[in-house]
Amino acid sequence: MAELSSCISNASPPSTRTTQRLLGKVALVTGAAAGIGESIVRLFHSHGASVCIVDINDKVGQRVCESIDDCKVIFFPCDVSKEDDIKRAIDFTVERFGTLDVVVNNAGISDTPFKGICDVNSFELDNVLDLNVKGTIYGMKHAARIMIPLRKGSIISLSSGAAVIAGVCPHVYTASKHAIIGLTKNVAAELGKYGIRVNCVSPYAVLTNMALAHVPEDERTDDVVAGFRDFVKKKANLQGVELTTEDVANAVLFLASDEARYISAENLVVDGGFASVNHTLGNFR
């Protein structure tokens, strides 16, 4: 038993935790001009990372970059649904910082809320799938292109609670987020041999501009933000805590850091237990 204990202790490397969990790492974050993406950028920067903000909104992206005011944070305008844009953004990041350790595929849009399946149209279908699914595939592809020779890296994509439990978001958006979980597992299966970890995060409802549109019309009030908070609180499982963009960013930070160095092909659900409970039964209400 003593020999076994000695073997186990010797097999575990000493802790290398610091207060800056991404010190010296280089990250690229898509959809980073606002909402969850902006929170990820600010948190990564506070933990010592050099970060490239990638977003289609040039003015807002530049404003976030200027507000941080550090040469370790740069901006690159990019439409993630266009492969050449993603390729150039990743090449730009490597040229500026010399390497690439983390890619976060966060950019996403939704289709019109409250539509039934009979009302889905090809325009919205193409737009949502192009940005959410193709954009994630392109991000994974060009992250892998840089990371495979390095034999290390972390790719993290944003899925949604809508991919874990049915009936909470529009059909096309839901389909796109299911695709991200499948992609995460499949790409992790391929890239594990190169030491590259691939994971995703699925949050419950977070107060962002996109999320506000999903409050049902009969639940809305004059104060849309207050109405969203009330609606989400009423439907949530975990009470006394409001999910914020910073909470989601913390989950992404964990997966990007060396603390998650043996975690891959996982979908980290940040929903306060919402998806694990059938709230229609009302047994505990």
What are the catalytic residues?
Answer: 160, 173, 177
Structure token pair of residue 285 = 């209400």
- Cβ pair 238, 272 in contact under 8 A: yes
* Percent helix, strand and coil across the chain, each to the nearest 5: 50, 15, 35
228 CB neighbour count, 10 Å cutoff: 22
Residue 12: how many CA atoms within 13 Å on its side-chain side? Answer: 8
164 membership: H or E segment, kind and range: none
CA distances from residue 176 to 48, 71, 179, 193 in whole angstroms, order as listed:
32, 35, 5, 27
Residue with tokens 């940005």: 131
User: Could you give phi then psi for residue 205, rounded to 5 degrees?
Assistant: -60, 125
